[in-house]
Structure 1
Amino acid sequence: MSTLTIAAVQTNIQWLDKAKNLANLAERLDSIKSADLIVLPETFSTGFGMDDEAIQEPQQSGMVYEWMQQQSIKHNAVIAGSVFVEDAGRKRNRFYWIYPNGETYFYDKRHLFRLGHEEQYVNPGTSREVFEINQIRILPQVCYDLRFPVWSRNRQDYDVMVNVANWPIMRRDAWDTLLKARAMENQVFVVGVNRVGLDGKNVDHSGGTAIYDFLGRAIVSAEDNQQQIIQMTIDIDELKAFRQSYPMLKDADDFEIKI
């Protein structure tokens, strides 16, 4: 298959309340008739409260992980989103990628948000991952990763970038601009999934959940400040045809990332 149907979920996350957030999301996901991939925001079950010990989950187990498995089976779709998990007395900001058959992969957020003191509580990821659905290659990213283009540089090894975030309204222009830039410079579709609402640290979020094509055009986007699910079916054959007509990636500089 050359197509991928994506459901991007923009939601208001209730601060540190896993049960309420999961119940709210389960109800909203019931409106999805069919999708290959369902994407939830960064820390969708708790909000960005990395300094609270109660929010972390065991690795590949626990309430939130089991809920994701159940939702993946129910909707017959990959479900993805980030969760704080335990890691050697600290945490990881873990982007789970769960298939309906139970197969699980993950990417740990590499770039920790220093302004919010994330690095004081969270261990950074050490590897770049690429996942697949329908033989379509997908690069997972988490929030602040978006500001570091070398980390997301397309080595002709992916077709879609997915970034899940708690990106505040005060820096919303950067979110919109960088999503568009990553799509154009890497010749990929980009899916940006952000939250809305005020969090427990009095930080406001306006959303900006959208799917961009390889020309940097927002082909579908959510309403600001609204809980909403947007859906789009993208065609990778269109992307391949564009890359053939404008083979920019063949002229990209070679480099090595040292971790």
Structure 2
Amino acid sequence: MKEELHIAMVQTALEWEKPEVNRKSISNKIDLISKDVDIIILPEMFTTGFTMTPENIDISEGCKTIDWMQNIADGKGVAIVGSVAYNTGKEFVNRLFFVAPNEKEVYYDKRHTFTLAGEDKVYKAGKDKLIVDYLGFKICPLVCYDLRFPVWARNVDNYDVLLYVANWPKLRVAAWDALLKARAIENISYCIGVNRIGVDQKGNEYSGHSGVYDCLGSQKVFSQKEEVIYATLYKNHITETRKKLKFLEDRDNFTLVL
């Protein structure tokens, strides 16, 4: 149990469909982290970029990436989170892994597959949310396009942190900024967004805009360049804000039909 949660967000360019190259590049960035952190957050599909041809990736790469994440978690005593194009042996999913030190990984499969890019034709959509209790903070991790769907993110689980990993293009980054802030305000939680930068194989440009918003929608950190971004989340900010502003008690009750 902690009163403060220290996070590091790796905002980076990605090599197209080259898992080993990306793992090595990200490892180098992680090795340069000098601050004490509790969680390291990576972008969506951090081993390949936002590929719609996951069949080009050897099935063994999924296990290699999980092992790589576990080694970092155990070796550095931090949790690490990010999504990959994952082959289950039966189908492809855009799977976010949350790996804590000396614990088996847990995962969330992206619910809202991005139809504009045909992700729904390639990857099977998930049906279950994941709430991770880590160091006394309840964290709800989601993926990219999920950001546009507030009902799915609605804070019916009393989480403290809403976390999005993404490959969100520069063309629509104004929506990314606005929706991260909105999700923080409406759910009275911290909202974290970790995006990539650079240009992918399809010519899509990414401008980052990774950031952290507090329970009132105030932007605490923000970046548009390749770097590791640091932020601290405070438990008392959540507690005091919800004590003063009891808006979650007035939320609508509903049943989500999938």
1:42 alignment counterpart: 44
Letter in 2 for 1:255: F
**Following TM superposition, by how much is the alpha carbon of 1:3 offset from its aligned partner in structure 2, in angstroms?**
1.3
What is the aligned residue count?
256
Partners of 1:194 and 1:56 lie apart in 2 by 25
1:177 alignment counterpart: 178
2:123 alignment counterpart: 122
1:72 alignment counterpart: 73
Partners of 1:156 and 1:49 lie apart in 2 by 32
CA contact (8 A) 1:5 1:35 kept: yes
CA contact (8 A) 2:54 2:92 kept: no
* 1:3–1:118 CA distance, 2 compared to 1 (3 A): same
2:236 alignment counterpart: 237
Partners of 1:63 and 1:242 lie apart in 2 by 42
Residue 67 of structure 2: SS of its match in structure 1?
helix
CA contact (8 A) 1:57 1:64 kept: no
Runs of 4+ in 1 over 4 A off after TM superposition: 56-59
Partners of 1:173 and 1:3 lie apart in 2 by 30
TM-score by length of 2: 0.96
Gaps of 5+ in 2: none
2:141 alignment counterpart: 140
The answer to whether structure 1 residue 150 and structure 2 residue 151 are counterparts is yes
Q: Deviations over 1:141-171 (max 9, x none)?
A: 0000000000000015200011000000000
CA contact (8 A) 1:162 1:192 kept: yes
**Following TM superposition, by how much is the alpha carbon of 1:58 offset from its aligned partner in structure 2, in angstroms?**
5.3
Partners of 2:166 and 2:105 lie apart in 1 by 21
1:87-236 aligned at under 5 Å gives the runs 87=88, 89-222=90-223, 224=224, 226-236=225-235
CA contact (8 A) 2:215 2:237 kept: no
Q: Deviations over 1:195-226 (max 9, x none)?
A: 0000011111000111111111110112x1x2
**Following TM superposition, by how much is the alpha carbon of 1:56 offset from its aligned partner in structure 2, in angstroms?**
6.0
Q: Deviations over 1:48-68 (max 9, x none)?
A: 113241226459x52211111
Please give the root-mean-square deviation of Cα atoms over the aligned residues, in Å.
Answer: 1.4
Deviates more, 1:195-204 or 1:84-93: 84-93
**Following TM superposition, by how much is the alpha carbon of 1:82 offset from its aligned partner in structure 2, in angstroms?**
0.1
1:11 alignment counterpart: 12
Gaps of 5+ in 1: none
CA contact (8 A) 2:54 2:85 kept: no
Partners of 2:157 and 2:216 lie apart in 1 by 16
**Following TM superposition, by how much is the alpha carbon of 1:134 offset from its aligned partner in structure 2, in angstroms?**
1.0
Partners of 2:69 and 2:196 lie apart in 1 by 18
Partners of 1:178 and 1:254 lie apart in 2 by 22
Partners of 2:248 and 2:17 lie apart in 1 by 42
1:250 alignment counterpart: 249
TM-score by length of 1: 0.95
**Following TM superposition, by how much is the alpha carbon of 1:239 offset from its aligned partner in structure 2, in angstroms?**
1.1
Residue 93 of structure 1: SS of its match in structure 2?
strand
Q: Deviations over 1:93-130 (max 9, x none)?
A: 00000011032100000000000000111000010110
CA contact (8 A) 1:56 1:91 kept: no
Letter in 2 for 1:46: T
